[in-house]
A and B are shown apart, each in its own frame.
Chain A
Amino acid sequence: MISIVMSVLVLLGLAVLFGLILGFSSIKFHVAGNPIVDQIDGILPQTQCGQCGHPGCRPYAESIANGEAINKCPPGGQATIEALADLLDVEVLELDGEHADIPIKTVAYIREDECIGCTKCIQACPVDAILGAAKQMHTVIIDECTGCDLCVAPCPVDCIDMLPIASNITNWKWQAPADPQQVFQQIIATDKRPEVELQS
């Protein structure tokens, strides 16, 4: 019995000692972060989605403090941008198009009976997805095509269309809920009350 009490007491003492050391050192070695970064981080929605191109909200907050654009946060939407603009005293921007939403995936399609075999689209294609030779009709390897549009402009007879990929069993995905930014605009990324006009 004595030995059990003894061992509990000794380990308890050890734990308390270590707890004191850690507690003291967390105060002593406290890192005073950049206060503006903390404020920006507080406005960002903390979804850690990485759509801004940073690994999380905190790194994005740091680079905003270093002068990056404030309009790269799709989950926060316009409300976040307005709050950031208010905090940093900069202009309100539209949500960056590149970060706004995922465009519909397309592939190039060559209308083969109109193709004159000029090979211009082959030279333009960055991924070698167009097959063909001079004065032979060309065609697109659908699996290789990235839908980059670069072959459309060079074609002298305008026989290249960008077709949306039909969804089928291999590429179908769950649809995102309809416009989450609208739904969450009031909840995420702002702690401001909607301004109510006082009636006198």
Chain B
Amino acid sequence: MWQALRTELHEQGLELVTVALDANVETARRIIENVAPTHPAVIDQEHTVDALFGIVNVPTGVWIDERGMIVRPPEPAFPGRSAYRDVAISDKLPQRLQDMLAEASKIRAEPEKYVGALRDWVKQGAKSPYALSPSEVIERSRPRPWEEALAAAHFELGAHLHARGHAEGAVQHWREAHRLQPDNWTYKRQAWSLADPLQGPSDLYEGDWLSEVRKTGPENYYPPLRM
């Protein structure tokens, strides 16, 4: 869906950059190869964009203007209606997967609003009401208390070890990152997915996707768009 939107808006001056937050490069690369995108598609094994921009979940979008200034800080970015929403949940699927799909269908996504605003900005640039001033951009970005800065260091260290074949050494750092920044879903889901493809309970990490989404409430999984 991103590729189609990029094709539409590229001739009006927009470039798309996709950043895959994947500790396993090959997993991300296989998906990207299937799409064979014409835009830059990069792989971020250490989730460095979390610390650089204040990203905590995916999909997240950031708008950057021609001068390299951020005009919208990280926010949920859906290019279209998620396939999860309309899928009929087969009772032949594993129970956990059925429960996950049911929960995912309740998660808020606002693709029409997001894509509408994006088209407006591409057309009008700084005159678009959706392009924010530098002070608004900073103000709307996440606060970075000491715990979250420390979480970023632990996550990076864990990912560095994981990438070099020391998966066991990564666990203590990722556990620490989860404890220090409990609302960072990219840190948690990355670790859960490596322990169990369905991100279910494991011996390695606290929590699992289904129980944490239920605890948070699917309506709070992404913040509402402020547009």
A and B interact? no
Which residues of A approach B to under 8 Å, CB–CB? none
Which residues of B approach A to under 8 Å, CB–CB? none
